Amino acid sequence: MEASDGVYECKARGIFRKKGVSPCCGDNVSISVEKDQSGMIEEILPRRSQIIRPPLANLDVLVFVSSVCEPKPNLLLLDEFIAIAEYKKIVPVVVFTKIDKQDSSQYAEIYRKAGLTVFEVNNMTGEGSGCVKQFLMGKLSAFTGNTGVGKSSLLNRIFPELDLATNEISEKLGRGKHTTRHVQLFKLEGGGYIADTPGFSSFDTNKYDIIYKDKLADCFCDFREYLGKCRFQNCSHTKENGCAVIQAVNEGKISRSRHDSYISMYEQAKLLKEWEHKND
């Protein structure tokens, strides 16, 4: 636990367990310090944002790292995570890696058109990594990305002293091996922190971060300009005549892949029953 006068190893009081609350990475807390310099967490201060798995609190930015090849981007998965970030009021940022192997402009254009901040990084030369680091100054950010996309390599560029473990892509499986197994905060020299996470597989959108169908369109920032302008008030933005969102897609103002992801997510959201998750 970092305090103004140093770093303390702290335990949480048992009362948190009784209340069903656990301190997590990124929490602001009040502590007491014993004579032996051990610490005790006395209070967890209100969180401005939280994701449950991986457990992170008070995030300003979620950085989604995706390679342009080996493995190819999974745009549906990426759009699901961006929507979760929007829903949680956390700024989503997209970083495309391995631009030395394949041009990233077609993917970058999709998300820049959507209004997101996008970076393109060459992990071999470090090109673009400095811009990522500069953007994150003064913020609490989390890096996440599927295994093999170059997330650890990017973090090594930002923090050369970390020397995080990296593995080559398994060509047979088409994915990398897990190299990061826990959440950890890294302090930026210019202010701010970065949290490294175990990868997309543990960022569970189905069980822990549920978006119901009536809230989903608001989580697509490129849709917002057109919401409320449809012919029908209860428009689902999936197939209706007179839908302003669909018209924007047909006119090229919204990327078709983004709308395809929305339809897929909407169909899944239709299956959710709020009463089943009211205690989640």
pLDDT digits (tens, 9 = 90+) for 240-265: 999 999 999 999 999 999 999 999 99
Is the domain of 29 the same as that of 67?
no
Q: Return mean pLDDT, the chain.
A: 82
Is the domain of 136 the same as that of 155?
yes
Q: Is the pLDDT of residue 106 over 90?
A: yes
- Comparing 3-12, 64-73, 86-95, 185-194, which segment has the lowest mean pLDDT? 3-12
130: left (phi over 0), alpha (psi -120 to 50) or beta: alpha
The residue among 155 and 233 whose pLDDT is bigger is: 233
Other Cβ atoms less than 10 A from the Cβ of 45: the count is: 11
179 touches 165 (CB < 8 A): yes
- Rounded Cα distance between 167 and 174, Å, is 13
Domain region containing 24: 2-44
- Rounded Cα distance between 153 and 209, Å, is 28
- Rounded Cα distance between 23 and 14, Å, is 11
The answer to whether position 208 is within a domain reads: no
Is the domain of 79 the same as that of 198?
yes
Is the domain of 157 the same as that of 67?
yes
Q: Determine the length of the chain.
A: 280
Using alpha carbons, select from 143, 140, 159, 132 the residue that is nearest to residue 197: 143
The pTM of this model reads 0.81
Secondary structure (DSSP) of 13-40: -HHHHHHT----BT--EEEEE-TTS-EE
